[in-house]
Structure 1
Amino acid sequence: MELKVRLRWAVLLVGVALCLGLAAAPHAPPALPGDYFFAESFARGTLDGWVMSSGKKANAGMATAYTKYDGEWEVEELALASSGAPEGPLRGDEGLVLKSKAAHAAISAKLRRPFVFDAERPLVVQYEVNFQRGIDCGGAYVKLLTHDPSDPAGLDLGGFTDRTPYTIMFGPDKCGDEFKLHLIVKHRNPATGEVGEHHAKKPAKQIRSYFTDKKTHLYTLVLQPDSSFQILVDGELVNSGNLLNDMIPAVNGPAEIDDPEDSKPADWDDRRTVPDLDAVKPEDWDEDEPREVPDEDATMPDGWLEDEPESVEDPDAARPEDWDEDMDGEWEAPEIGNPRCNAEDTPGCGPWTLPMVPNPLYKGKWKAPKVANAAYSGEWRPRSVPNPDYIEDLRPFARLSPLGAVGLELWSMSEDIFFDNFLITSDREAAERWAEQGWRPKKEAEDAAAGRAEAEEAERGNKGPAGRAVDWVLANGFYAAVLLIAALLPVAVRLYTSRKGGNVVPAAATGGAKTNYKKTDEPQPDVKDEEDEEEEEEKPKDLNG
């Protein structure tokens, strides 16, 4: 009967696995929005349209002036082991993966057409990131590379480096315990033509979990023609402001600046206090008293071994075979800490001396006390003059340089950073639909898997091997079916052949233990065939006894 139960379990598990495997729906990439400047879901499974940089990164202040961008990029499926959610919505969902760690990596792709900032349409930038192996130090931000309409050759993506001009940098970055969500905007001063780099203030919301939970997160930047901006993660607002008021440094510089020609007058005294010239050292002030003195009340602790040295020769040390006394001198064994001094009941070894305590008579070197400075002129500052470069730009959005490409120029100490579903558009509703079709299935699958993992962990102690096997099949679908069939088929065959093969003595005939006898010439007990015995058990018993 036990054999039949095993076979039934095997058939049941294989059936469940096959059903779930067939039911797992394949991944469906998001539909392209109606109007967009760039959209990439990696549904083709290739890097078509993307260019890996062959340029070199500048290393300021280092022995090597330049470093190659040798980080590796691949298009791969979201790692099921990392996401914890191998259901249909994730199976086949491929994205761009940074495979290398401790290496500089750069890759970029051109927009369908340049995005030109004007007063009529916003800029919406959106993409997904999953730190599949966590993140120690590194970034996952995007650079929106600047398009120069006057350059007929256009952007050289093969030469993309850290020096390639960009208009906006946006996305997560971490090193040590510092978690950042960058928004960096490069604005050209209309008066001087100089390009300044301006950073958004830090988010007020806690963003640590986006880096540590190993889930796929959706990063969205919305920059409006009125120069206001919103930064969202997973559709929730985490930072907002305006390019005019909430950037460091401010987009519009100060109207006045310190006069570079001004200098502090020679008679200007900016000392708030000065030594009291009328003060004298007290007669009882002894500068020779030491800071610490021996504690005369102390006594040697019980168990102190005064005759034991603190260190002894290492008894296990041996003179090296190549030691030459003529060249190296007389060999002496190295010393180690005295084992007797390290015993728990031994407070110490060697000559005991009185411990030192603070000296109550110590006063140190005398200094005259400070008093208010009667000649204090105040804190000096140079006078203010009009800023010759000042111009009040009330529409910085419209003055941003056009966008021509999206690029990732990164260095990370963690590998397998997953990027997916890049979108650059002016239609916020289109971006929300793109997220619902591309990111939402990931979130639901990952959240469901996390919830199941917690519940399963709580119930794991109450389940037997069969129950855990069924749970595993339920969690892994089609792939589980293939593996399970491959694993159980030899077991089932073995069980079947062992049932039909040698002579099996039922437990009833051997006092509770089954015995397999080899074919020999030795006499064996007369035992009924197991099938006959089972048939007799299944026959109805005589009701008359």
Structure 2
Amino acid sequence: MDKRLLSFLIIGVVFLCLATLSQSESEDEDDGVVVTEEQDPVIEDVSYRSPTPSGSVYFAEHFDDTQQFKKKWVLSEAKKDDIDDDIAKYDGKWEVEAPQNNGLSGDFGLVLKSKAKHAAISARLDRPFKFTVKPLIVQYEVTLQEGQECGGAYLKLLSHGKQTADLRQFHDKTPYTIMFGPDKCGNDHKLHFIFRHKNPLNGTFSEKHCKKPKDRVEEPFKDKLPHLFTLHVRPDNTFTVKLDHQVINEGNLLDDFTPPVNPSPEIDDPEDKKPAEWDEREKIPDPEARKPDDWDEDAPAMVPDATATKPDSWLEDEPDMIPDPNAEKPDDWDSYLDGDWEAPLIPNPLCESAPGCGPWKPPQINNPAYKGKWHAPLIDNPNYKGKWKPRRIPNPYFFEDKNPFRMTDIAAVGLELWSMSNMILFDNIIITDDQSVADAWAAETFDLKRRKLDKEGESLFSRLVTYTNEQPWLWAVYIIVIGLPIVLVLVFCCGSSSQEKEEQRRVAEAKKTDAVSPDDDVDEDDDASQQAPVNTDSNSQLETQQEEEGAGEEEEAEASGGEVDAEEPKTEEAVSEAGGAPRSPKKHTSRKE
């Protein structure tokens, strides 16, 4: 009966929860909360079409149009200076092709096909970018399809001027305004942001290197997946570097570059020299100290142990090494050319079980008389003047550029690389002054790629968890659908089994003690005298003792002529206290009766 009640109760809870959830969903629909197709855990295939930039764009390239690519991009025909002719040429191979793995249909990129070769290619901007009142935003994708051993995958934003008029002469010395992107060699992983700053006094240029990111940037070099690199430089001299939409570096052009943009207003005087009498020694040997007379500098550090004795079993006449008795002279041994042949030496086997062989010498111990070389103790130098420094003078080359953002105009974008890894894919390059334009460009390109990769790499279980997190009420359904059947199984199997075992235990205990079981029909109103005494072989020792005591009382009563009380003084409670099972009271009649 208990099982049935519990089953009805659990089933009722299930239907109540389902009704509550159904009502909750209905309320959500009434409130305008509708599950859309975007919330469907089954994601449709990602469709791609070549993006079309809108807004303020200086350069945009998706590499999907091969004919347009050939018109826009120029291969370098230059040679590097100061190296051998066989490696000076920019003869690295470039191809426009689809990614090796998991690419979008119709999406192509520019791939560096060769390794250990110099390669350079560039394209002119639609219009030059001028550093005035609008920010510069550079964004592009890199996929290191074969990983990266040593080499770069960075962009160069080429400066406007005569040296960039002919892009066929693009090489490593071509002036650039900004270099941005990943670079690696060995265990040194970098994400470059370098800009060339023009000295306002003499017009010379110097490279300013950004500080290293706080976060590690090793993942793009080894996971062989597409990654999005974004540089944002603002007119207030601040900058932000992002990797896959996440900020990994930021700062100020004035404070976070080496060497700094502005030189120090003072410098060390190159004409100033340290005086000859200048004493920089903080401590000097005590000139008044003298070596003690008993100081022996010639005493050895180690001496033989005078207390050591030679072990009795020391084999002094046996050498440590003996000629190998099993060795044989080679057949081609020429005594005239090779000399007399001698067997190679091997450890003496007799010495293995002995404490030692050969002449015995006492072991060496530390010499208690050894003091080493004597040195005078050090004292404070009374002539100490501190560390000498040249005097400071005004920096004749000092200037203060408060707005380093105003860099040289950008005329073109180029890739000038040398890499020990091939199959480096570049894609979706955009240069703009509007962050929303760059975000929209990434949404139509990079974000679609990563969505497809995430979909393909996502297991059914992870999809279910993601969808459930978006719909938290599903957790209650899982608990009801999965949890309650488990509870029912445990109740019907484990619960009933334990009850049956308990029932069997009570029955067995009753049989052992002759206790009254619930099934025994006993009329409590019947006279105790009408109950037949139970005398079986299974009576306990307590019953036997009671009968012997009763018999003794009867004999005493007969001898005295009296009668024994018909009621036994030991009641059921007394028997229970003695540890036996409760028994019905017994009566004893006298022998006289």
Could you state the TM-score of these two structures normalised by the residue count of structure 2? Answer: 0.60
- Preserved contact between residue 295 and residue 354 of structure 1 (Cα < 8 Å): no
SS at match of 2:408: coil
Distance 2:309 2:376 in 1: 37
Distance 2:89 2:305 in 1: 65
- Preserved contact between residue 310 and residue 360 of structure 2 (Cα < 8 Å): no
Using the TM superposition, give the Cα deviation of residue 371 of structure 1 relative to its aligned residue in structure 2, in angstroms: 2.4
Distance 1:376 1:442 in 2: 69
1:95 aligns with 2:103: no
1:136 to 149, 158, 166: 149
SS at match of 2:168: helix
1:146 aligns with 2:147: no
2:253 maps to amino acid: L
* Pair 1:445–1:260, CA change in 2 (3 A): same
Using the TM superposition, give the Cα deviation of residue 336 of structure 1 relative to its aligned residue in structure 2, in angstroms: 9.9
Distance 1:195 1:30 in 2: 37
Higher strand share: 1
1:274 aligns with 2:284: yes
1:69 aligns with 2:86: no
- Preserved contact between residue 238 and residue 252 of structure 2 (Cα < 8 Å): yes
Using the TM superposition, give the Cα deviation of residue 66 of structure 1 relative to its aligned residue in structure 2, in angstroms: 6.9
Aligned runs of 1:84-483 on 2, under 5 Å?
86=102, 90-118=104-132, 120-148=133-161, 151=162, 154-289=164-299, 306-308=320-322, 329-330=337-338, 359=366, 363-398=371-406, 400-452=407-459
Distance 1:197 1:279 in 2: 58
SS at match of 2:449: helix
* Pair 1:78–1:374, CA change in 2 (3 A): same
Distance 2:181 2:367 in 1: 60
SS at match of 2:80: strand
- Preserved contact between residue 285 and residue 378 of structure 2 (Cα < 8 Å): yes
* Pair 1:50–1:269, CA change in 2 (3 A): same
Residue of structure 2 equivalent to 1:471: none
Distance 1:115 1:417 in 2: 27
1:68-107 Cα shifts (integer Å, max 9, x gaps): 3232222221111xxxxx3xx6244221122222222222
Using the TM superposition, give the Cα deviation of residue 227 of structure 1 relative to its aligned residue in structure 2, in angstroms: 1.1
1:13-41 Cα shifts (integer Å, max 9, x gaps): xxxxxxxxxx9666422222332111111
Residue of structure 2 equivalent to 1:55: 78
SS at match of 1:90: coil
SS at match of 1:31: coil
SS at match of 2:174: coil
Using the TM superposition, give the Cα deviation of residue 424 of structure 1 relative to its aligned residue in structure 2, in angstroms: 0.9
1:300-324 Cα shifts (integer Å, max 9, x gaps): 999x9933569x9899x996xxx99
- Preserved contact between residue 146 and residue 403 of structure 1 (Cα < 8 Å): yes
1:515-544 Cα shifts (integer Å, max 9, x gaps): xxxxxxxxxxxxxxxxxxxxxxxxxxxxxx
Structure 1: which 5+ runs fail to align?
A: 1-22, 81-85, 457-545
Distance 1:363 1:167 in 2: 68
1:101-151 Cα shifts (integer Å, max 9, x gaps): 222222222211211111x21100011112222222221111111111xx3
Distance 2:345 2:79 in 1: 54
1:255-280 Cα shifts (integer Å, max 9, x gaps): 11112222222222222222222233
- Preserved contact between residue 53 and residue 160 of structure 1 (Cα < 8 Å): yes
Distance 2:367 2:455 in 1: 69
2:75 maps to amino acid: M
- Preserved contact between residue 232 and residue 241 of structure 2 (Cα < 8 Å): yes
- Preserved contact between residue 313 and residue 334 of structure 1 (Cα < 8 Å): no
Using the TM superposition, give the Cα deviation of residue 190 of structure 1 relative to its aligned residue in structure 2, in angstroms: 0.9
- Preserved contact between residue 138 and residue 410 of structure 1 (Cα < 8 Å): yes
* Pair 1:196–1:275, CA change in 2 (3 A): same
Distance 2:73 2:362 in 1: 73
Residue of structure 2 equivalent to 1:38: 59
Distance 1:356 1:449 in 2: 74
* Pair 1:154–1:165, CA change in 2 (3 A): closer
Distance 2:204 2:250 in 1: 26
1:28 aligns with 2:49: yes
1:168-209 Cα shifts (integer Å, max 9, x gaps): 111111122221111111111112212121111111122222
Aligned length: 409
Distance 2:95 2:429 in 1: 16
- Preserved contact between residue 264 and residue 380 of structure 1 (Cα < 8 Å): yes
1:247 maps to amino acid: F
2:418 maps to amino acid: W
SS at match of 1:410: strand
- Preserved contact between residue 192 and residue 389 of structure 1 (Cα < 8 Å): no
- Preserved contact between residue 132 and residue 417 of structure 1 (Cα < 8 Å): yes
- Preserved contact between residue 213 and residue 249 of structure 2 (Cα < 8 Å): yes
* Pair 1:129–1:291, CA change in 2 (3 A): farther
Structure 2: which 5+ runs fail to align?
A: 1-43, 464-593
SS at match of 2:442: helix
Using the TM superposition, give the Cα deviation of residue 451 of structure 1 relative to its aligned residue in structure 2, in angstroms: 3.4
Distance 1:454 1:392 in 2: 60
1:404-456 Cα shifts (integer Å, max 9, x gaps): 11112222222212211111111111001111111011112223333349989
Distance 1:34 1:335 in 2: 92
* Pair 1:272–1:26, CA change in 2 (3 A): same
Using the TM superposition, give the Cα deviation of residue 298 of structure 1 relative to its aligned residue in structure 2, in angstroms: 12
**Which structure ranks higher in relative contact order (CA pairs < 8 Å, sequence separation ≥ 6)?**
1
SS at match of 1:431: helix
2:211 maps to amino acid: K
- Preserved contact between residue 300 and residue 367 of structure 2 (Cα < 8 Å): no
* Pair 1:330–1:247, CA change in 2 (3 A): same
- Preserved contact between residue 322 and residue 345 of structure 2 (Cα < 8 Å): no
Distance 1:337 1:30 in 2: 82
